[in-house]
Structure 1
Amino acid sequence: MSTFKHIMTRRVAPALVAGLLPMAFFTTARDEWEDHLYDLKKQFSPNNPPRKERVVILGSGWGSLSFLQRLDPEKVDVTVVSPRSFFFYTPLLAGCSTGTVASTSITESMRWHLDRFKSSSSRPLFLQAHASSIDLEKKTVTCGSSAVGVSTVLEYDQLVVAVGAESNTFNIKGVKKHATMMKEVEDSLKVRRAVLEKLESANSLLASGASEEEVLRHLHWVVVGGGPTGVELTAELCDFVNSDVKEFFPGLAGKIQISLVEGTGKVLGMFAPHISEYARNKLVEQGANVTTSCFVTGATEKTVNLLGAVDKKKTFIDYGLLVWAGGIGARPFTKSFATQIGGEQVPKKGPLRGLKVDNKFRVTGTENVWALGDCALSGSPPTAQAAYQQGKYLGRLFRETNCDKKIVDEHAAFEFHNYGSLAYVGSSTAVADLKLHLWGSDHPAGRGQGDESTVLEGKGAFAIWRSLYFSKMLSMKNRWQVLFDWCMSGVFGRDISAPYNEIELEGEGGK
């Protein structure tokens, strides 16, 4: 096969076909009708309050951004506070770890989204800082900037807490110190840099005549957590090894081990058993070692300790890279605020997992304080899909009720609609469990419609995975950047030097 034909059939064609064919359908099915109807109605019957509500939003993730997009700039003065100045598209985080997409392609400046809220108010639209404390009586938030060492006090009429969650290590000894978390954009860049450094180190050791054991240790990469993040990262690493590493490090490709460790009995636990089994077999087919029913009990600089959940067998694995995607827990700020409120916010047993809210996201035990996303105990799953729906609901509630307590009490409660789950499993294949809604069941046209579940696996699921995530990106600029990255990595391979040139993104945010 000629080089040109090889590139066209093995790289360009799958990227274009999988990425573009279903794109139009999912793009036109986007759930924006109520927002357009609101804008149209407003032209004929404006209902602006005499005084704007001062709204402070803590966080720059899915919940806060979708909330922000539904607010009416003529009814609120908004300030967003977050230690990270951008929103990032979490579904493509694993691809960022191997260079399939660039970090700049999945990030969007919060200031860009705040542009329509510009007013004569002296309040800042965005403040890059950590929220350190809340005074519920004075209705103020104290925010600190570690970069310049100053504090700012913001007054609010309505406070929306959407700080998300952080990686949960379950206090397992050595994990926090030696593992690389997989939660934020900077985490994906650390993984990418570490992978390339391990390849270069192993190459140098091999050339110097070092022991085979030491070479193999550098080339053993362990991913902990069999959820979508862990599975997709494992799949991306397998793709990277089977294509780019074979091309640029031909002497190392056959020595690399990629291990996925999951504590429960199967990977992708939210999927049906046969789909989970398909995902596992696909990863194994590409060269990954998949171990289930096995818990991590400790980690050192070079070794991770495992314990079988059933047979209680202890195993010690030498590794070069340990990546933690084993779950999430409440941030220190969330725990501190819940303890400050007291009462039923503090559980009698077990760890504090988030802020308790009612069915309209009002924080229990407070007034004028709301919580969204992973920091809220709302009954919805801790996913980007849930956080996005919550923010959309609360933004519409604010603009329709003007935060009038009596009207809010009478407003319809939030209902989460599961639109399904997707996961990439490598080699241009994916798994999908989609709940089909004719119009979207949170719209008048779609209420009462029965939900049908469609389960797909393989190339077809991959086509849906790419097209759906493409259409759901929040700006046209990022859509075309991601599409360009997919095509470039498909034709020319992944950039194996980019982490040393990209700007390191710092800070933490939430969904």
Structure 2
Amino acid sequence: MRIFSFFDRSTRAFRFSKITLVFAVSTGGLVAYSESKPYGGSSSVDSSQVEAKKKRVVVLGTGWAGTSFFKNLDCSLYDVQVVSPLNYFAFTPLLPSVTCGTVEARSVVEPIRNIIRKKNGEIQFWEAECIKIDAANKRVHCRSNDSTIVKGKEEFLVDYDYLVIAIGAQVNTFNTPGVMEHCHFLKEIEDAQKIRRSVIDCFERASLPNLSEDERKTALHFVIVGGGPTGVEFAAELHDFFCEDLVEIYPTVKDLVKITVIQSGDHILNMFDERISSFAEQKFQRDGIDVKIGQRVISVSDKAITTKAKANGQISSVPYGMVIWSTGIRIRPVVMDFMQQIGQNNRRALATDEWLRVEGCDGIYALGDCGTIHQRKVMEDISAIFNVADEDKSGTLTVKEFQDVIDDIIVRYPQVEHYLKSRHMNDVVDLLNDSKGDERKESIELDIEGFKSALSHVDSQMKNLPATAQVASQQGVYLARCFNHMKDCEDNPEGPLRFRESGRHQFQPFRYKHFGQFAPLGGEQAAAELPGDWVSIGHSTQWLWYSVYASKQVSWRTRALVVSDWTRRFIFGRDSSRI
């Protein structure tokens, strides 16, 4: 069907006739025009009224959490606006591979506007940084990264109905002197590119004819501070880069290269199963990678790194050519300022409830590394749980009464399920009998004190979720589903019982499902910790790593590029240029 228009001679502009409005309504659209509005002319109707029925959702950040959220969001239901200083999504687990040219930087990034284009233009994106969150007035202050913008125009305001904070975190230096000035970080694509150039610079510098033997050794001493997954994977990548590629290009300095990993804890990869940690340490020892455990860095100068042994307090200083700092994360200044506004001081991240809503705020959610779920304790609600379970109000709780509400309890308080698994209990009968110290009895009854005793140790199983891409991605998908079904669940809530109130919660709370984690160790070997307490180590695990990381790419474009980079590396080796 055509849209008819006519030319108005008095205003020298095209006007749309009423048939345009009839056409839009007949097709079920939400389009509305002011009557006889000039094309390109002024209008008395504010543009925001065009989507008056839609709530505005503002997303801060284009990392794992933010991108997963708006990719899975039904954008036809909301006015979606994304603000981020980065106009791309980066597959951060492959950053260590970028540092040594195993894959190229462009192969692991997807432009945000490519992702938005697939959403039929229903998302607006601004390349800018959020500098302040004004929760009282429901707006965020943003600043453009473009230095060429006229002064006074670089800052703008964005109003919101719902705000999704997913801006991640920054590297934690623990206020160690000299770290910011002399260390490299591995958090963003730009960091990986700088490291790649610096590695080659170290080899080129060591090849100069006017350097002494000690100066060459210093230039080729690579120090990695932090024995977590990022630090260990970079050490393995660097070792492979040297042994497989650089040793033939720089034969005169092949015996001078040294890689050192400094870890403050007792083992590297201490968040993995101890079998993986032990295997990694043994492999690094065979490869000649020096692992110093129980060492804390106290300062970094332009020539040396100073450490202090935790066991005896001995201080030592080691010269270096390049230092990589990979010791953890902390919240960004804009989040810290927001936390002070809402009274969440002295926290490591924004505290949210189990539905990812920032505590004490209306319509604000925090995802990924910038937020942490404040899981409610069972013992805080123990009396309310007992009263709901005690249907006959007898003052005692039977096994059947407890079984009637156990599903809601496990969903609302996941530490209960973790406690049952840790104690190898099959069901609530085992839990109640355990509190009595009796053999298994189906007819046991408990009063309120016995019920408290049965659940007294449950809260000890509460753990914070790790700051990983896997957690952030799942949170983004979960919140998008909640937004997609928000209206449907207003009348028919699908969540667990409200033990302190009547009815049910609107949604099921967020539940993280762990799919395992990998630790590439170099030499085409990797270790994996899989669900069900499965541990896999060796060459076959490396091929599993290849398949999983290829499948998890954000688009077919990046998937093809990454696989082609791996193939190129197998055939031609890594590129040794500093580009």
TM-score, normalization by structure 2? 0.71
The separation in 2 between residues aligned to 1:264 and 1:380, in whole angstroms, is: 20
CA change 1:73–1:146 in 2 (3 A) is closer
The separation in 1 between residues aligned to 2:205 and 2:511, in whole angstroms, is: 52
Structure 2 unpaired stretches of 5+:
1-27, 31-50, 374-463, 496-504
CA-CA distance at 1:118 after TM superposition: 4.5
CA-CA distance at 1:146 after TM superposition: 3.4
CA-CA distance at 1:249 after TM superposition: 0.6
- Tell me the amino acid that sits aligned with residue 127 of structure 1: W
Partner of residue 561, structure 2:
481
Q: In the alignment, does 2:426 pair up with 1:427?
A: no
The separation in 1 between residues aligned to 2:541 and 2:227, in whole angstroms, is: 19
Q: Is the 8 A contact 1:118 1:125 kept in 2?
A: no
CA change 1:364–1:119 in 2 (3 A) is same
Q: Is the 8 A contact 2:127 2:145 kept in 1?
A: no
Measured against aligned partners, the alpha-carbon deviations of 1:292-348 in whole angstroms (never above 9, x if no partner) come to 111111000010001111122211110010010111111111101111112xx113x
Q: In the alignment, does 2:94 pair up with 1:127?
A: no
Partner of residue 284, structure 1:
285
Measured against aligned partners, the alpha-carbon deviations of 1:45-88 in whole angstroms (never above 9, x if no partner) come to x9999822211100010001111121002101211111111110
Partner of residue 243, structure 2:
242
Partner of residue 174, structure 2:
170
Matches within 5 A, 1:241-280: 241-280=242-281
The separation in 2 between residues aligned to 1:389 and 1:47, in whole angstroms, is: 32
SS of 1:198's partner is helix
SS of 1:67's partner is helix
CA-CA distance at 1:117 after TM superposition: 4.0
Partner of residue 322, structure 1:
323
Partner of residue 201, structure 1:
205
The separation in 1 between residues aligned to 2:215 and 2:490, in whole angstroms, is: 65
CA-CA distance at 1:136 after TM superposition: 1.8
The separation in 2 between residues aligned to 1:50 and 1:255, in whole angstroms, is: 68
Measured against aligned partners, the alpha-carbon deviations of 1:365-398 in whole angstroms (never above 9, x if no partner) come to 1101100000001232111110011111000000
Partner of residue 86, structure 1:
88
SS of 1:410's partner is coil
Q: Is the 8 A contact 2:223 2:320 kept in 1?
A: yes
CA-CA distance at 1:279 after TM superposition: 0.7
CA-CA distance at 1:100 after TM superposition: 0.1
TM-score, normalization by structure 1? 0.81
The separation in 1 between residues aligned to 2:52 and 2:185, in whole angstroms, is: 47
Partner of residue 393, structure 1:
478
Matches within 5 A, 1:140-219: 140-147=139-146, 148=149, 150-204=154-208, 207-208=209-210, 210-219=211-220
CA change 1:73–1:182 in 2 (3 A) is same
Q: Is the 8 A contact 2:246 2:576 kept in 1?
A: no
Partner of residue 403, structure 2:
none
Matches within 5 A, 1:59-74: 59-74=61-76
Cα RMSD for the two superposed structures: 1.9
CA-CA distance at 1:432 after TM superposition: 0.3
Q: In the alignment, does 2:113 pair up with 1:111?
A: yes
Q: Is the 8 A contact 1:96 1:188 kept in 2?
A: yes
The separation in 2 between residues aligned to 1:86 and 1:287, in whole angstroms, is: 38
The separation in 2 between residues aligned to 1:420 and 1:433, in whole angstroms, is: 5
Q: Is the 8 A contact 2:489 2:506 kept in 1?
A: no
Partner of residue 418, structure 2:
none
- Tell me the amino acid that sits aligned with residue 152 of structure 1: F
SS of 2:255's partner is helix
SS of 2:243's partner is helix
CA-CA distance at 1:417 after TM superposition: 1.2
Measured against aligned partners, the alpha-carbon deviations of 1:246-277 in whole angstroms (never above 9, x if no partner) come to 11111112110011111100011111222101
Q: Is the 8 A contact 2:358 2:365 kept in 1?
A: yes
SS of 1:310's partner is coil
SS of 1:419's partner is coil
Partner of residue 415, structure 1:
511
SS of 2:528's partner is strand
SS of 1:254's partner is coil
The separation in 1 between residues aligned to 2:486 and 2:467, in whole angstroms, is: 27
Q: In the alignment, does 2:358 pair up with 1:363?
A: yes
CA change 1:202–1:341 in 2 (3 A) is same
SS of 2:267's partner is coil
- Tell me the amino acid that sits aligned with residue 249 of structure 1: Y
* Max Rg structure: 2
Q: Is the 8 A contact 2:133 2:334 kept in 1?
A: no
CA change 1:119–1:427 in 2 (3 A) is closer
Partner of residue 100, structure 1:
102
Measured against aligned partners, the alpha-carbon deviations of 1:197-229 in whole angstroms (never above 9, x if no partner) come to 01001101xx23x22111111000101110000
The separation in 1 between residues aligned to 2:309 and 2:283, in whole angstroms, is: 23
Partner of residue 472, structure 1:
552
